[in-house]
Amino acid sequence: MGSINTVENEIKELIAQILEVGSEKITPDAKFVEDLGMDSMMALEIVAAIEKKYKITIPEENLMKLASLGDVIAVTEQFLGKK
């Protein structure tokens, strides 16, 4: 429960659903925009979905940092830690 791996897998599934790609394509380093076709509205959806799931608030200035799965996990954990 609540381990790093669980969070990683949950976030991966959630991103795969929003970007409409198979979760196997969401590798830690795959670039959302260049490799997976993310646009700004999808970025907003990802942040909104994570906020809802983990009951956290991710401020707008963090959005630009979310370029890959690794980035999303790092930011999510940062704000989970602050809860």
> Contacts with other proteins in 23-82 (CB under 8 A)?
40-41, 44-45, 47-48, 51-52, 60, 63
Residue 26 near residue 15 (C-beta atoms within 8 A): yes
* List of E strands, the chain: none
* Residue with smaller CB distance to other proteins, 44 or 74: 44
Query: C-beta of 80: minimal distance to other proteins in Å?
Result: 17
Q: Cα 71 vs. chain centroid, distance in angstroms?
A: 7
Residues that bind other proteins (CB under 8 A): 40-41, 44-45, 47-48, 51-52, 60, 63
